[in-house]
Structure 1
Amino acid sequence: MVARKFTVDLNKPLVSQVGHLGEAYQEWVHQPIVSKEGPRFFESEFWEFLTRTVWWVIPLIWLPVVCWCISLSIRMGHTFPQTAFIVIFGIFVWTIMEYILHRFLFHIKTKSYWGNTIHYLLHGCHHKHPMDGLRLVFPPAAAAVLCVPFWNLIKLLSTPSIAPALFGGFLLGYVMYDVTHYYLHHGQPTSEVPRNLKKYHLNHHFRIQSKGFGITSSLWDKVFGTLPAPKAAEKSG
C-alpha cells in the first residue's frame, strides 16, 4: 500500500501539523501565501498571544535597555567618543550575527517532526506567510531568553567596562534589524537606498531563497559569495 501524503489544513492551528510533512516540509514552507491575514499557530490562546508582536514594541522595550547599557560604560569611566566607538563596533558585530543566523540557522534543512516544528516557529512561518505583520519581529519574551547567552559571551570576551556598551551596540543592531525587516515588508520606500533594499529582500523571499541573507545590508552576502545575480533564474526550496 502507498502511504497517503500528509496535507496541512490551513484552517487549523499549524504548529502541530507542520512536523508531519517530513521531507515535504521544505517544499511546502517555501511556497509563500501572500496574505496580510496571519494563520493560527496554537489552540491555546496564551501561546497564540505570545507569537504575535506589533513592530513598535521592539524599540519600545529594547531601546531603554540599550541606553542603560551604554550609560553603564560611561559611568565606568569611558568617554563619549570611546563609548560611541564601542557601540558602533557592537552594531558591526550584530550585522555578522544577523547574516550567520539567517543563513545557517533560519535556513537549515529539516525533515524530522521536531526539526520541522522548531524551524517553522523560528523562520519557516515567515517564509510561508511573508506578509503576516504580527509575526515579522521577534517576540520580546523569546529575545530576552536569547540575550542571556549573548551577554555572557560578550562579558567573557571583553572587559567589565566595555561589555555593557558593546552589548548595547549589539542590541541596537538587533533593533535596527527588526524594524528594518518590518519596513521592507510593509513600508513603501520612495528613496533609492531603501527601495533597492526592499527589492533585494523580497527577491530572497519570492525568487532565490538560497541567497540574499542580509536584511539591513548586502555587505556579508558580497563577502561570502551569496549575493544573487541581478536576473538569476535559480529557485531554492
Structure 2
Amino acid sequence: MVVKPFTVDLDKPLVFQVGHLGEAYNEWVHQPIVSKEGPRFFANDYLELLTRTAWWVIPLVWLPVASWLVSMSFRMGLTLAQVPLAVVGGIFIWTLLEYGLHRFPLHMKSTSYWHPMDGMRIVFPPAVTAILCVPFWNMSRLLSPPSVAPALFGGTLLGYVAYDVTHYYLHHGKPYKRLTQDLKKYHLNHHFRNHSKGFGITSSFWDNVFRTVPSTKTAEKMSNQ
C-alpha cells in the first residue's frame, strides 16, 4: 500500500500539522507561503494573537529600554567617551549572536512539531524577546564591570532592533538603493536557493569569517532575476 505524503492545509492552523511532515518538513519550511492574510498558527485566538507582531512594535518597545540601559551606565560613572565604546561593543556582540542564532537554533532540523515559516511573522514577539534577554543580560553582567554591563547590553539590544527591522524590510520592502538591494538578494538566496549558506542578515561579516558565504555563481543567478 502506497502512503500518500502529508499535505499541509493552509486553511487550518499550522502548528499541529507540520509535525506530520516528518523528513519533508525541512524542505517545506523553506518554501514561500502565498496567503493574503497569512495562515493561522493556532486555533485559539489568544495564542494566535501572541504570534503576530507588527514591525514597528520592535523599535517602539526596545529602543526606550536600550536608551535607559545606556543612560544607566552613564549614571554609574562611565564617561561620554566610554559609553559609545560599550554600545559599539554590544552591537558587535549582537552581530555574532545574529549569525549564531540564525545558523543553529533557527535552522535546527526537525521531524516533529516545530515552527512553520510564515512571512507575516518575521519579527520576534516582545514577550519571546524578553525571555531570551535574560541569559544574555546575565552574561553581560558576568563578563563586564557593573558600570559597563548596561551600555554593553543596550548596544546588543540596538543591534537586535536593527536586525529585526532589517529582516522585515528584506522580506516585505522594496529596496531601491544598491546596499539594501544587495542585502535582499543575499537573504532571499539563503531562503530559497541555499539555506546552508548566508546566515548574516544585517551584514555578511561572520559569513566571511566562518566561510559560509554563498558561491559567486549562485549570487549572480539571484541578481539576474
Within 5 Å, give how 1:127-146 maps onto structure 2.
129-130=118-119, 132=120, 135-146=121-132
Change (3 A) 1:6 1:186: closer
Indicate the SS of the match to 1:100.
helix
1:4-83 paired onto structure 2 within 5 Å: 4-83=4-83
Q: TM-score, normalised by structure 1?
A: 0.88
Deviation at 1:7, TM superposition (A): 2.2
Runs of 4+ in 1 over 4 A off after TM superposition: 1-4
In 1, the alpha carbon distance for the partners of 2:31 and 2:202 equals 24
Match of residue 182, structure 1, among 168, 180, 185: 168
| Structure 1 residues without counterparts, runs of 5 or longer | none
State the alpha-carbon separation in 1 of the partners of residues 173 and 3 from structure 2. 45
One-letter amino acid of the structure 2 residue matched with residue 144 of structure 1: A
CA offsets 1:125-153 (integer angstroms, 9 cap, x no match): 1xxx34x2xx1110001101111111111
- CA offset digits 1:78-135 (Å, max 9, x no partner): 1111000000010000000000000011111111x2xxx23x1xxx41xxx34x2xx1
1:212 matched to 2:204? The reply is no
- DSSP-derived class of the 2:146 partner: coil
In structure 1, distance between residues paired with 2:198 and 2:175: 19
Task: Name the CA distance, whole Å, in 1 between partners of 2:101 and 2:64.
Answer: 25
Residues 217, 36 of structure 1: alpha-carbon distance in 2 compared, 3 angstrom cutoff = farther
Counterpart-to-counterpart distance in 2, 1:79 and 1:153 = 23
How far residue 193 of structure 1 moved from its aligned partner, in angstroms, is 1.1
Unaligned runs of 5+ residues in structure 2 are: none
Output one character per residue of 1:16-66: Cα deviation in whole Å (capped at 9) or x when no partner.
111121122112212222445311110100000000000000000000000
Seen in structure 2, the aligned counterparts of structure 1 residues 202 and 34 have a Cα distance that, compared at 3 Å, is farther
Structure 1 pair 16–46 and aligned structure 2 pair: CA distance change class (3 A)? same
SS at match of 1:232: helix
Distance 2:35 2:92 in 1: 34
Displacement of 1:168 in angstroms is 0.2
Q: Identity rate of aligned residues, in percent?
A: 65
> Residue 8 of structure 2 aligns to a residue in which SS?
coil
SS at match of 2:216: coil
The alpha-carbon distance between structure 1 residues 36 and 207, as it changes in their structure 2 partners (threshold 3 A), is farther
C-alpha separation in 2, matches of 1:58 and 1:149: 20
- Aligned-pair Cα RMSD in Å: 1.7
Q: Offset of 1:6 from its aligned partner? A: 2.4
Letter in 2 for 1:203: N
Shift, 1:189, TM fit: 2.0
Count, aligned residues: 220
**Alpha-carbon distance in structure 2 between the residues aligned to 1:188 and 1:5:** 36
